[in-house]
Amino acid sequence: MYRGRLERDLKIWTDKGLVDAGTAKAILSEYDGRQTSFSAGRVLTIIAAVLLGLAILLFISANWEALPRIARLLGLVAMIWGFYLATAYLLARGRSILAAGLLILGTLSFGGAMALVGQMYNLSGDELRMMIVWFIAACIVAASFRSSAQVGLAGFLAWAFCGVYLWGHFDEWYGLMPWMPPLMAVVLIVLVRYADAPAARHLAYLMLVGWLTWLFGRHEGLNTAILFAALGMAAFLAVSIPASPLMPFARTAGAAPAFYAFLVASIGFFLIHAEISKGSFENNVWVEDKLPLIIVAAATLASSVIAIALSGRDNGAVRYLAYFVFSCEILYLASETIGSIIGTAGFFLVAGLLVAIAAWLVIQLERRFSDNRGQGKRA
């Protein structure tokens, strides 16, 4: 997608004389030569590695009892080290695609070997601890080889752990286990920057969103929903306001930090709506008391306007999410207040005036920022 847009932009700039044809061709060649750019061969190699790894593990497990115990142990160790040493050899020869596939095979073999050795020696432990060790091993390998594919595999292993834990231990909170999802997400984000694996950062952010939603499920209530939305908006402002000290760091991560922070805030506003509706329905006061609805609706619409004002120009993901939230809120209000046409019209009038005032303030601020930048350049 980005390559197609880049190629179209280069063609426009070439036609306008801003870039010569040789430079445009060199830019495209440099982009195509990056290891992080999409490659169908790379994707197929990773899929083949996963399938081959599963086939090897199934073959070993099917013939497990026929092998002597020492042969089993030595065979597993030799297989894992064989994959990793072959990876190092291929990387030295510049065969990065095949090396990525062998890394995947090595890490999958490591996980399967843990399960088989534990079964062979009747080692105590549960699947959650085994998955944590597997994740740590995948992260060490990813850092050692700086492999983006390995970072992605570590992300999926983290997701597997979170799925098993959050699904099977919904009402339990003990030790470090509940904190493992955010810890894994932080490790993944560090690896994303170290190994230059930008696509894997979405696995970390989505895992954080899922973990926060799980926390809300454990402490369900209106106050928790308000805290959910407030923390999301605070995080969004921290990575979007130009004066924020986190802004330069967040900008290096692209659109993801602002988008996922605003996504958390949007989920929080949705949960507030749900909690207010549930409480009003239980108390049978929804028809008489619309004040909570108006307050939450105004806050939701204001959050969308703020998101568009701060990140809408440069962050398409935030812009479209804000449009979606704004539209859904308007439709929701229309459906809930359709019994009073005058009341609905009055609310839309107030909302329109507030948006107009916000737009005027944003325009004035942008002009002031432009004037300050111009004066700074002249100085």
Phi, psi of 313 (to 5 degrees): -75, -45
Sign of CA dihedral 149, 154, 155, 159: positive
- Please say whether the dihedral angle defined by the alpha carbons of residues 361, 363, 366 and 368, taken in this order, is positive or negative: negative
Copy the structure tokens of residue 247. 């802004």
CA distance 337 to 331: 10
Secondary structure (3-state) at 16? coil
Contacts of 203 (CB under 8 A, 6+ apart): 152, 155, 156, 158, 159, 188
Amino acid (1-letter code) at residue 78:
A
For residues 241 and 247, the answer to whether their CB atoms sit within 8 Å is yes
Handedness of CA 178, 210, 161, 238 (dihedral sign): negative
Nearest CA to 116 among 150, 151, 71, 81?
A: 71
* The pLDDT value given to residue 263: 93
CA distance 265 to 329: 14
pLDDT of residue 267: 92
Q: What are the b/e assignments for 24-34, b being 16+ CB within 10 Å?
A: beebeeeeeee
pLDDT reported for residue 284: 47
The answer to whether 36 and 148 have CB atoms below 8 angstroms apart is yes
Q: Tell the burial category of 354 from Cβ atoms under 10 Å away from its Cβ (0-12, 13-18, 19+).
A: middle
CA distances to 2, 33, 139 from 22, in Å:
20, 16, 41
Would you give the end-to-end CA distance of the chain in angstroms? Answer: 41
Length of the chain: 379
Per-residue pLDDT of the chain (379 residues; tens, 9 = 90+): 566 677 788 888 888 888 888 888 888 777 766 655 445 556 666 677 667 766 766 666 665 566 667 776 777 788 888 888 888 888 888 777 778 778 888 888 888 777 766 666 555 557 788 888 889 999 998 898 888 888 888 989 998 888 888 777 766 666 678 888 899 999 999 998 888 888 888 888 999 898 888 888 878 888 888 998 999 999 998 888 887 787 777 777 778 888 999 999 999 999 998 888 775 544 444 444 567 777 888 888 888 888 888 887 777 788 888 888 887 887 777 666 655 555 556 666 666 676 676 667 656 655 665 555 455 444 4
Question: Using CA atoms in the order 154, 158, 161, 163, what is the torsion angle rounded to 10 degrees?
Answer: -130
Listed residue (150, 211, 147, 148) closest to 184, CA to CA: 211
According to the model, what pLDDT value does residue 252 have?
75
Tokens of 127: 């699947």
- pTM for the whole thing? 0.70
Of the candidates 378, 330, 52, 37, which has an alpha carbon nearest to the alpha carbon of residue 197? 37
Please state, in angstroms and as integers, the Cα–Cα distance from residue 16 to each residue in 12, 22, 80, 325, following that order. Answer: 6, 14, 56, 39
CA distances from 202 to 188, 192, 303 (A): 10, 10, 23
CA distance linking residue 361 with residue 351, whole number of Å: 15
